[in-house]
Amino acid sequence: MNSDKPFSAACVRNREPIVDRLEGLLAYSASVLEIGSGTGQHAVHFGAAMPWLRWQCSDRRAMLAGIRCWLDEAALPNLPAPIELDVNDPPDPGRHDALFTANTLHIMAWREVELMFRQAPHWLRPMGRLIVYGPFHRDGRPTSPGNAAFDRSLRQSNPAAGIRDLAAVEALACEAGLGRVAEWAMPANNLMLVWQLTGR
C-alpha cells in the first residue's frame, strides 16, 4: 500500500450507502464525471463496484497527485487519469451520462456552487443526471444538532463555506434546466439528490 496516499475516514463510512444508490441510478450509464474527487477513494470503490462505467475523476490541481496514488494502485481499466477542473475557470470535460459530487457544496463558496450548476447542462448528455451527496439545511435551518455544529465549524474556518439550504440549491437546478427526480435520506443526516437534464 502506498503510504503517501491521502485518506478520508468519511469516504470509508459513506461509500457503501452511496454505491448502493449509484448502482441502480447508473445501471444503464457509460460515463460519469466526478466533480471534486478529493482523495480518490470514492472513485476506486465505485469503479470496482461498477466496472461498466468510465469514472472520470476531476479536482483542482493540488489534489490530482493524491488521486493518482489511489488510481495507480487500483489499476482499474475504467478509471482514466484524473483531470484538472476548477469551476471558476473550467476546461471542457466533455459530455457525460452523469455528474457526481460528494461533500463539495458546503466546501465551495456559494458563487462556485452557482457556477457548477450553471455549467452542469454543458457537461451532460441529453437526459443526463446530476447526483449530489452531502448535508443540507431545510428552510434555512439545520436538520440535526450535528449538522448545526458542522456548519458552525465550516464557517469559522472559512466564512464563504457552509451547509447549503436545499431550496436555494433547488432554485439553481431549476434555472439550469435540471428537474429533480429523486431525494434519499442517507446516514449521518446527509441526502442524495438527483436531477435530470430536461429539454436540451
Q: Parallel, antiparallel, or unpaired for β 124-134 and 190-197?
A: antiparallel
User: Could you write out the DSSP letters of every residue in 15-47?
Assistant: HHHHHHHHHHHTTT--EEEEE--TTSHHHHHHH
Whole-prediction pTM value?
0.97
Alpha-carbon distance of 51 to 30, in angstroms, equals 10
Give residue-wise pLDDT tens across range 15-42. 999 999 999 999 999 999 999 999 999 9
Give the pLDDT confidence score for residue 198 in this predicted structure: 87
Give the pLDDT confidence score for residue 2 in this predicted structure: 58
Mean pLDDT for the chain overall: 96
DSSP state of 141: B
Stretch 109-117: mean pLDDT: 98
Residue ranges of domains in the chain, CATH in brackets = 9-197 (3.40.50.150)
Give residue-wise pLDDT tens across range 58-81. 999 999 999 999 999 999 999 999
